[in-house]
């Protein structure tokens, strides 16, 4: 039985930032998530690609030890996204989205995947997220992501998903849309009352906030000299966060806080290059070193 199952998208991204551009590079929420998580635990991936998806990308995912039994290949083209960032790197401006084979994708969970220890529902239609939940035995921890498109268009279905998950991981704009309030503390109170035990709000260069019924925890973003491409940073954060939780099994408050820092570390590496290029050459000793730097960055003594 695998440790961590992810259902999401595998895509081709075309991205322009003030620091360069990349055309038709490997992307997608499940790709970033599973690559980051694979540094910590065994990962099983459910997604769909088209007949144009190159074997070299398959080889890369396999080289990370990711189980691709659930990666479906169909006739047609792979999902494509094109976007750009200004110097305000917190938010991408979407220029084109072509769902292609993703439009009719209906995740089918292979028999050997149906008892995952942990499950991450990537940014897909809430109806599909519900369908996945119905196909698996209840995992020890379920987390999910969503986006403004689903918050606006399928709010009722999304709330039904949130009643069944333990952790919701979204960015600050999505959180405000979901809670219909600009104040994130009020949004957290409203959201936690409706289902999830934990709300994690990604705030780009401003770090991350975690809310639960007892505590609030905040961590900064790691200060970097060079940020080339923020695409996938949020998915990489979620992969590092869930991967670390799966590796330790520690779901205590301290375990969650440590996992948030590991997620932040993974995101900090991702933005240093386009696509997954930085993660391709990343070594675990670099992750540990940056985790220790993070600890020094945020450490302070109590009042005497």
Give the side-chain half-sphere CA count within 13 A for 53. 31
3-state secondary structure of 133: helix
The answer on pLDDT for 246 being more than 50 is yes
Model pLDDT for residues 170-183, shown as the tens digit of each residue: 999 999 999 999 99
Structure tokens at 29: 């929420």
pLDDT at 205: 87
For 176-186, b/e burial (b = at least 16 CB within 10 A) is bbbbeeeebee
Model pLDDT for residues 33-73, shown as the tens digit of each residue: 999 999 999 999 999 999 999 999 999 999 999 999 999 99
pTM value is 0.96
pLDDT at 303: 85
The answer on pLDDT for 274 being more than 60 is yes
Range 4-298 has CATH code 3.90.1150.10: no
* Residue 134 zone, left/alpha/beta (φ > 0; ψ -120 to 50; rest): alpha
Model pLDDT for residues 108-149, shown as the tens digit of each residue: 999 999 999 999 999 999 999 999 999 999 999 999 999 988
- Residue 103, number of CB atoms within 10 A of its CB: 10
Nearest to 85 by CA among 287, 229, 277: 229
């Amino acid at each position: 039985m695998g440790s961590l199952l992810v259902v999401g998208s595998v895509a081709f991204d075309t991205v322009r930032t003030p620091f360069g551009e990349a055309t038709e590079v490997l992307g997608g929420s499940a790709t970033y998530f599973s690559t980051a998580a694979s540094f910590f635990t065994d990962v099983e991936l459910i997604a769909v690609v088209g007949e144009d998806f190159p074997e070299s990308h398959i080889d890369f995912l396999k080289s990370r030890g990711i189980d691709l039994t659930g990666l479906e290949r169909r006739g047609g083209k792979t999902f494509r996204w094109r976007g750009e960032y200004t110097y305000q790197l917190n938010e991408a401006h979407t220029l084109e989205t072509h769902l292609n084979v993703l439009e009719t994708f209906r995740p089918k969970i292979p028999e050997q995947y149906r008892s995952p220890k942990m499950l991450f529902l990537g940014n897909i239609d809430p109806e599909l997220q519900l369908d996945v939940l119905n196909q698996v035995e209840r995992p020890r921890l379920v987390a999910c992501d969503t986006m403004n498109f689903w918050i606006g268009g399928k709010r009722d279905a999304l709330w039904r998903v949130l009643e069944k998950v333990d952790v919701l991981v979204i960015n600050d704009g999505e959180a405000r849309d979901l809670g219909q309030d600009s104040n994130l503390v009020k949004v957290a109170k409203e959201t936690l009352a409706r289902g999830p035990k934990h709300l994690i709000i990604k705030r780009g260069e401003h770090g991350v906030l975690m809310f639960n019924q007892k505590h609030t925890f905040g961590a900064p973003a790691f200060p970097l000299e060079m940020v080339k491409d923020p695409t996938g940073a949020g998915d990489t954060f979620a992969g590092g966060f869930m991967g670390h939780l799966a590796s330790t099994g520690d779901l205590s408050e301290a375990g969650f806080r440590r996992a948030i820092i590991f997620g932040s570390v993974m995101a900090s590496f991702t933005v240093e290059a386009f696509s997954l290029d930085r993660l391709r050459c990343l070594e675990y000793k670099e992750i540990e070193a940056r985790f220790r730097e993070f600890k020094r960055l945020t450490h302070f003594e109590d009042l005497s």
